[in-house]
């Protein structure tokens, strides 16, 4: 069917090796020979088989990514950074999307083993200790993005500091009754997202530091999603003594909070201040105050670390922290007294 390197060699009247050298731009071919081979390649419409190439080389020039809900704006933006960095390095990107616990476990177990890729990027998923061990056994270079695990390299932000930053800002605006809306605390059945948990920690620390005792009833957790956050927030805002400000662990959840405020006819920011996290695209549109993190860059940096590790697996464990920044917009204001 399709021409092989052997066909090219035969027609051009040269050896296999020569054709291979031409394909790979080796300098050890005379100009004349090279041209002849090139002509035959064009004539035969020959395309080197990537699979055969990978096989022979022992590398796939492919990087695999496991991401939960890759449809979430923050994840998409990280993926975009990954793709861009990978493409400029000549690597292809294969994506595994994970929306159930079972698939998370399967992917984490099987993808590294399949040897389809030269490296693996895991987004927003923290492998458990036993999974880390299994991962290391495969010897496949791995980098975590927006997640942390002992003895695995990664790029993240300081989520605790982020949570504190958001909360301190609300405190500085005079708020004392500050609520928190975040993801479900990881349990057996869930994904082990850690960022929401850390942001909660930062929230609590900031409160304590300001002499405000954190109240349990001000902290609500649910599945990540606009609708879930809306329900949670509505509940929270109907408390006898409701919060005057709400910190949502993500912009998506903050949108749910905004909806809840609308449901209850609470004016934002006059009666309720709202702050989110991530600074996804739509945050600007909504005028949402939020904590910005560099999503695109996290993908880029993750790829850099990974490629370094692929080139030299002995590279010492690197962990990179990306900066965060408070973006004050219109959903927060000094508390009315």
Partner DNA sequence: CTGTTAGCGCTTTCAT
Partner DNA sequence: ATGAAAGCGCTAACAG
| Token code pair at residue 116 | 């389809």
Name which position in 25, 42, 45, 58 contacts DNA (CB under 7 A): 58
Q: Using CB under 8 A, which residues numbered 206 to 225 contact its own copies?
A: none
Name which position in 27, 28, 130, 139 contacts its own copies (CB under 8 A): 139
Q: Using CB under 7 A, which residues numbered 22 to 41 contact DNA?
A: 23-24, 27-30, 32-34
Stretch binding DNA (CB under 7 A), from 52-60, 79-87, 144-152, 311-319: 52-60
Quote the Cα angle for 328-330-334, to 5°.
80
Query: How far are the Cα atoms of 22, 36, 37, 38, 225 from residue 42, in angstroms, in the given order?
Result: 13, 10, 9, 6, 53
For the bound state, the minimum distance from the C-beta of residue 169 to its own copies, rounded and expressed in Å, comes to 24
C-beta of 2 vs 189, nearer to its own copies: 2
How would DSSP label each residue in 243-304?
Answer: -SEEEESSHHHHHHHHHHHHHTT--TTTT-EEEEEE--HHHHHHT-EEEEE-HHHHHHHHHH
For the bound state, the minimum distance from the C-beta of residue 284 to its own copies, rounded and expressed in Å, comes to 9
The tokens 């929230």 sit on which residue? 203
| 138 touches, from its own copies, DNA, none (C-beta below 5 to 8 Å by class) | its own copies
| 20 touches, from its own copies, DNA, none (C-beta below 5 to 8 Å by class) | DNA
Measured in degrees and rounded to the nearest 5, phi and psi for residue 185 equal -65, 135
C-beta of 5 vs 98, nearer to DNA: 5
Measured in degrees and rounded to the nearest 5, phi and psi for residue 317 equal -55, 120
- CA–CA separation, 257 vs 251, rounded Å? 9
Stretch binding DNA (CB under 7 A), from 15-23, 85-93, 223-231, 326-334: 15-23
226 binds its own copies (CB under 8 A): yes
- CA–CA separation, 301 vs 305, rounded Å? 6
Q: Using CB under 7 A, which residues numbered 317 to 336 contact DNA?
A: none
Name which position in 211, 213, 285, 316 contacts its own copies (CB under 8 A): 285
Query: How far are the Cα atoms of 10, 218, 219, 264, 322 from residue 238, in angstroms, in the given order?
Result: 81, 11, 14, 9, 37
Residues that bind DNA (CB under 7 A): 2, 4-6, 13-18, 20-21, 23-24, 27-30, 32-34, 47-49, 52-53, 55-58
């Amino acid at each position: 069917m399709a021409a092989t390197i052997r066909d090219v060699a035969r027609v051009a009247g040269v050896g296999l090796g020569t054709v291979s050298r031409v394909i790979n731009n080796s300098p050890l071919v005379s100009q004349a020979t090279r041209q002849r081979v090139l002509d035959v390649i064009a004539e035969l419409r020959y395309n080197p088989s990537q699979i055969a190439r990978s096989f022979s080389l022992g590398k796939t020039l492919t990087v695999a990514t496991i991401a939960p809900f890759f449809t979430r704006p923050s994840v998409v933006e990280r993926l975009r950074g990954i793709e861009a960095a990978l493409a400029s390095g000549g690597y292809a990107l294969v994506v595994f999307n994970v929306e159930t616990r079972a698939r998370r476990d399967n992917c984490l177990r099987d993808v590294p083993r399949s040897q389809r890729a030269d490296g693996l990027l895991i987004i927003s998923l923290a492998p458990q200790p036993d999974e880390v061990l299994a991962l290391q056994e495969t010897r496949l270079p791995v980098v975590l993005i927006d997640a942390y695990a002992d003895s695995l390299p990664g790029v993240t932000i300081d989520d605790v500091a982020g949570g504190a930053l958001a909360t301190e800002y609300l405190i500085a605006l005079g708020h004392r009754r500050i609520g928190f809306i975040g993801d479900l605390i990881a349990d057996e059945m869930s994904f082990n997202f850690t960022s929401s948990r850390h942001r909660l920690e930062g929230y609590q620390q900031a409160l304590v530091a300001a002499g405000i005792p954190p109240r349990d009833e001000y902290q609500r957790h649910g599945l990540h999603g606009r609708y879930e956050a809306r329900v949670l927030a509505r509940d929270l805002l109907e408390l006898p003594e409701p919060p005057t400000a709400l910190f949502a662990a993500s912009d998506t959840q903050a949108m749910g909070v905004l909806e809840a405020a609308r449901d209850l006819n609470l004016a934002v920011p006059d009666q309720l201040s709202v702050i989110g996290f991530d600074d996804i695209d739509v945050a600007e549109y909504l005028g949402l105050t939020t904590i910005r993190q560099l999503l695109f860059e996290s993908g880029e940096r993750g790829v850099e670390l990974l490629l370094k590790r692929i080139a030299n697996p002995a590279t010492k464990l690197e962990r990179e922290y990306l900066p965060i920044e408070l973006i004050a917009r219109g959903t927060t204001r000094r508390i009315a007294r």
